[in-house]
Homo-oligomer: A and B are copies of this chain.
């Protein structure tokens, strides 16, 4: 089997509060900022509270969704006095942690998110990256309290719109279900464990450990499905009780999708796919009731650090 090697990871950013009401990341980052880093490590950790204005008011964002601001086009848009707060903040973060696609970027960027959907722990990737998929496997092997899955967005780097695209390697950690604005200890503990395991992996990787290859499953985004709506754009149905909380359970043609307020069931009519982000609070305004994915199995090469 193939082998891949990568340079050591020397700068790692742990980010939270990109959405100001997703509380797990806010409190993990604040705790990391408070703690003196005593551990002897082969790398530096940069904890960043990325959207302090949104955190202060406990909302997703102040002017626009920060986690849609990291495309090449938006990062290079001219600075004006009237630009939205988050667009300015994205450019600041790109200076601090990037530049995206550049040599000076942090080696790994992890951004912490929550969802109201019953998704367990997910690592979200833009593209297949053997190194970060090995981190996924490492976490999967050590967390059994919730399912640990990979979501792949398959978007070219130039169009990649979220913060983790700024690092040389990067992923979002998405944990749910948790209402936005609420901090649950169980969800906090799972996310904190995933962050600690990521740091543990890096320490072992930098020290020269060889991580054996193998198979890894990922859910690849196919499309988003909107709620049924009336002519004025108001939703006319909720997620069906038989679909609610069933993230990553295969949806077959004929399975219920929505229950209208007048009691009718809307059924799935199409190919078999895996639903996720079912009834995510923040996606109502994006006109997304849930998303659908294909499940793919990838063959991972073994990885180790590059020998100088």
Asked if A185 is at the interface (CB within 8 A of a chain B CB), the reply is yes
B182 and A281 contact, CB distance less than 8 A:
yes
B281 and A181 contact, CB distance less than 8 A:
yes
Residues from chain B with a CB closer than 8 A to the CB of A183 are 235, 238, 279
Known contacts being A180-B179, A181-B281, is A186 close to B31, with CB within 8 Å?
Answer: no
Residues from chain B with a CB closer than 8 A to the CB of A281 are 179-182
A106 to B238, CA, bound (A): 31
Interface string of A112-125 (1 = CB under 8 A from B): 00001000000000
Asked if A259 is at the interface (CB within 8 A of a chain B CB), the reply is yes
A286 to B125, CA, bound (A): 38
Known contacts being A179-B179, A240-B185, A284-B58, is A27 close to B116, with CB within 8 Å?
Answer: no
Which A residues lie at the B interface, using CB under 8 A? Answer: 27, 30-31, 58-59, 116, 177-186, 188-189, 234-235, 238-241, 244, 259, 261-262, 279, 281-282, 284-285
Residues from chain B with a CB closer than 8 A to the CB of A59 are 59
Residues from chain B with a CB closer than 8 A to the CB of A178 are 179
Q: Which residue of B lies closest to A181 (CB)?
A: B281
**Shortest Cβ-Cβ A-B pairs, 10 listed:** A179-B179, A185-B238, A181-B281, A116-B179, A185-B259, A182-B281, A185-B241, A183-B238, A31-B261, A186-B241
Q: Which residue of B lies closest to A116 (CB)?
A: B179
Cβ contact of A30, chosen from B27, B177, B234, B241, cutoff 8 A: B234
Q: How far is the CB of A226 from chain B (nearest CB, A)?
A: 14
B58 and A185 contact, CB distance less than 8 A:
no
A183 to B116, CA, bound (A): 11
Q: Which residue of B lies closest to A256 (CB)?
A: B185
Residues from chain B with a CB closer than 8 A to the CB of A285 are 58
Q: Which residue of B lies closest to A280 (CB)?
A: B182
Residues from chain B with a CB closer than 8 A to the CB of A30 are 234
Residues from chain B with a CB closer than 8 A to the CB of A235 are 183
A241 to B282, CA, bound (A): 25
Q: How far is the CB of A198 from chain B (nearest CB, A)?
A: 18
Cβ contact of A116, chosen from B31, B182, B240, cutoff 8 A: B182
Q: How far is the CB of A76 from chain B (nearest CB, A)?
A: 31
Q: How far is the CB of A182 from chain B (nearest CB, A)?
A: 5
Q: Which of A31, A182, A261, A282 has the most chain B CB atoms closer than 10 A to its own CB?
A: A182
Q: How far is the CB of A54 from chain B (nearest CB, A)?
A: 13
Given contact pairs A58-B285, A184-B244, enumerate 18 new A-B contacts (beta carbons under 8 Å): A27-B261, A30-B234, A31-B261, A58-B284, A116-B181, A116-B182, A177-B179, A179-B180, A179-B281, A180-B281, A181-B282, A181-B284, A182-B279, A183-B235, A183-B279, A185-B238, A186-B241, A188-B261
